[in-house]
Amino acid sequence: MITQDITRFEFDSQELRTATVDGETLFCGKDVCTILGYTNPSKALGDHTKGVTKRYPLETAGGTQEFTFITEPDLYRLITHSKLPTAARFEKWVFEEVLPTIRRTGHYGDMEAAWRAITTPDAIIQMAENWKKDRDARLALEAKAEADAPKILFAEAVAGTQETILVGDLAKILRGMGVLIGQNRLFQILRDEHYLCSTPGDRWNMPTQKSMELGLFRIKESLVVGADGLNRLTKTPKVTGKGQQYFINKFCRAVA
């Protein structure tokens, strides 16, 4: 149950609503997505949050509506995936100002309550523990961003290239980025998720209509002279630059 009223903050003239539920601070998902520049909050929450979300009714100009509230770990994930330059400043504001104040006083901006809250030894110990928790979370987020930077740069670099590669070469690139996968397993996953055809015969391992429409694959056709001297047409699926970026992001995000 909600143990206190919804608390409203303001970041760059945009509202951020939080709720305290059983001692845990939750954040209004729509507010977070708006501040971080996500044009489709529902999709962003579906793509980037992994925890259990909770829905609560809030009063709006159009009447009472239910909003999704997310946990701190999911807030970190949305910040990490945001492309806005203000994301780092938003992170600093939340972790260094909003959360410590909520944990000390239960309210934002109540300086008298904050002063009363830090006058007991237990409160000081609790503040130190909370500060350490916030610092460790921030350092972990920074370390992850630093570790992911080469993957992001590589994926962006290959996005516009005209060079296509074999599925086996893509598996090697993914292994180099920490994804434990080989050529055969990658083929199997691509078939299972309907990027490649799984029907035996001429269409086996050929790109599906969905993959072709997304521009993830091209088909290379070659004439091969068989042992009987006859020419045979062979078809090989090759991953485009866009496809390389797509699958690198997909598999690296899955192991993050």
Token readout for 155 is: 């994926």
Residue 67 lies in domain? 7-148
Pairing of strands 63-70, 54-60: antiparallel
Question: Would you call 53 exposed, middle or buried from its count of C-beta atoms within 10 A (0-12, 13-18, 19+)?
Answer: middle
Q: SS3 of 126, please?
A: helix
- Residue 125 sits in the same domain as residue 201: no
* pTM exceeds 0.85, yes or no: no
- Residue 140 sits in the same domain as residue 169: no
Confidence of residue 161 (pLDDT cuts 50, 70, 90): low
pLDDT surpasses 90 at 206: yes
CA distance 3 to 24: 10
Which of 118, 148, 178 is the last residue before a domain boundary?
148
Token readout for 43 is: 């999709």
pLDDT surpasses 70 at 251: yes
- Residue 108 sits in the same domain as residue 196: no
Total domains, the chain: 2
pLDDT for position 115: 47
Confidence of residue 231 (pLDDT cuts 50, 70, 90): confident
Closest CA to 6 of 76, 57, 64, 43: 57
pLDDT for position 242: 86
**Tell me: the pLDDT tens digits for 96-155?**
888 877 776 555 444 444 445 555 666 667 667 776 776 777 667 666 555 555 555 455
- Residue 235 sits in the same domain as residue 108: no
**Tell me: the pLDDT tens digits for 29-78?**
999 999 999 999 989 998 888 876 778 777 777 777 888 999 888 898 89
To 5 degrees, how large is the angle CA 5–CA 10–CA 12?
165
